[in-house]
Chains A and B, each alone.
Chain A
Amino acid sequence: EDQVTQSPEALRLQEGESSSLNCSYTVSGLRGLFWYRQDPGKGPEFLFTLYSAGEEKEKERLKATLTKKESFLHITAPKPEDSATYLCAVRFYGGATNKLIFGTGTLLAVQP
């Protein structure tokens, strides 16, 4: 069964304390792994799409990497405004274009 698991469920960091979020997946035929940021009461905000093992993408303090079984979202020197829920999702071959399977997210809190 296609599945996405994120860890940890919640993470509390001090401002400037770097860390990583994990997303492991089991899907037959990966056609994209997506990272989103979601603020309370808002829709998911698109961050990255990764397509093949070894691929990396960066945006400000965030860097996403992909292997054959998992993805990491590295947060370097986080600031309080990085506090949010980070969602990982996968799209697979044979599925509908916009059918993404989501994990339950990691709730990140960055304290000043």
Chain B
Amino acid sequence: ETGVTQSPTHLIKTRGQQVTLRCSSQSGHNTVSWYQQALGQGPQFIFQYYREEENGRGNFPPRFSGLQFPNYSSELNVNALELDDSALYLCASSLDRDRGVHFGNGTRLTVT
């Protein structure tokens, strides 16, 4: 069973730039979601994709957007980066709504 893999592991960007983070879901998992984890905090839900459509969103502005591809891989795009966007970005996948949710090791984004 393959796990959830994310790339890159670390990234440094300048305020105002745009960034794309990538995720490959666990094999067979058709639901993927993204989380933001600030230092010392629990992860915060950004949004979820199911069958290539966004079907759930947390309290994040529209400059956070995403895509899911037919092979269940996914991207998180963040435009107009702000300093407060510096965090660990986590991708998670699950088989269905009554199973465990499995996380990747994240991308550490630093905005300067």
Q: Are B58 and A36 touching (Cβ within 8 A)?
A: no
What is the number of contacts between chain A and chain B, taking CB atoms within 8 Å?
A: 77
**How many A residues face the partner with a CB closer than 8 A?**
27
Q: Mark B71-112, 1 if CB is under 8 A from A, else 0.
A: 000000000000000001010111011111111111010000
Q: Are A95 and B90 touching (Cβ within 8 A)?
A: no
A71 vs B109: C-alpha distance in the bound complex, in angstroms?
Answer: 33
Q: Are A44 and B43 touching (Cβ within 8 A)?
A: yes
A contact residues around B92 at 8 Å (CB): 98
The interface-forming segment of A14-22, A60-68, A76-84, A101-109 is: A101-109
| B42 interface hit (Cβ, 8 Å) | yes
Q: Mark A84-112, 1 if CB is under 8 A from B, else 0.
A: 00010101000111111111110000000
| Interface pairs (22), CB distance under 8 Å | A4-B42, A31-B98, A36-B103, A42-B106, A43-B6, A43-B88, A43-B104, A44-B90, A45-B103, A46-B103, A49-B99, A49-B100, A87-B43, A89-B43, A97-B31, A97-B33, A97-B94, A97-B96, A98-B45, A98-B92, A98-B94, A100-B43
List the interface of chain B (C-beta within 8 A of A).
Answer: 4, 6, 31-33, 40-45, 48, 50, 55-56, 58, 88, 90, 92-94, 96-106, 108
